[in-house]
Structure 1
């Protein structure tokens, strides 16, 4: 489910992938349902591709969200106010959710973002964070890959090599030849 949920740099909130255009994705905001185009030049990240640093291996985001869900009993985060919490309070909360998170590479802003994403997902009615491999999701992965590929390598520029003809250019030789005839 998290493969269809996107974070777009420069735009607040989370978005659900709806459709794909030639060089853009059509997304729908989770908060108010507005649909808007997101172009390939913007940085688009699927929540399914995000992981949290730990002392050992990285932990996928869905596992961390499931831990927060278990701690908060499936409701929005109420045990801490992420906007007003100190960095030490945020790290203490994260230690309860993911005890071995890397305290040097996971910043308080990352923890705030994680908690705000969790609250957005819960308020949108998305409570199943586990990855589901199905044919439908594989079809959705292709548009994301296409958008990332177009971001990485722009399409080739094709120049028109045909000579340009204009009415002014066509009239010029006739005008010169007419002048020559008058001179003779």
Structure 2
């Protein structure tokens, strides 16, 4: 399972796994408590693989930021998202030194750190985007 199956739903805590599609939306399972819920098209939903963090030169995909956090923490949990704003910003500066401080808010940093910790706790450790290369296509045949 990659980040393309992990969702953030506005107004709902935590992260969700996309499990099935329905006529009017889809079914999502909470990574926090495992409960399933129906999500319709009125909900504001973000797919983690589509999110990027602004830097001064480019937009860095969230998966790359998670990979850098995983390297920094040796695959373990990061600091708590409930730490002070200064601690969170200092931590994020270590992970992504060139992030654009004018466009990446403290609340964004808090969310990224919280999401990373949820995914690590859930057992997800591969944040790289899976791209089909020629080698992979050959292996499948």
Moved over 6 A (4+): none
| Cα deviation digits, residues 104-133 of structure 1 (max 9, x gap) | 111111111111000100111111111114
Distance of 1:111 and 1:27 partners within structure 2: 24
CA-atom RMSD in angstroms: 1.1
Deviations 1:67-93 (A, max 9, x none): 00011110111xx333131x2222211
Structure 1 partner of 2:29: 28
Which protein is richer in strand relative to its size? 2
Gaps of 5+ in 1: 135-184
Q: Which residue of 1 aligns with 2:69?
A: 68
8 Å Cα contact 2:80/2:113 also seen in 1: no
Corresponding residue pairs, total? 131
Listed one character per residue, the Cα deviations across residues 143-171 of structure 1 (whole Å, up to 9, x for unaligned) are xxxxxxxxxxxxxxxxxxxxxxxxxxxxx
Max Rg structure: 1
Cα deviation digits, residues 27-73 of structure 1 (max 9, x gap): 10111111110011111110000000000110000000000001111
Q: Under a length normalisation based on structure 1, what TM-score does the superposition of the two structures give?
A: 0.69
Name the CA distance, whole Å, in 2 between partners of 1:52 and 1:133. Answer: 20
Equivalent residue number for residue 82 of structure 1: 81
TM-score when normalising by structure 2: 0.89
Partner of 1:100: 98
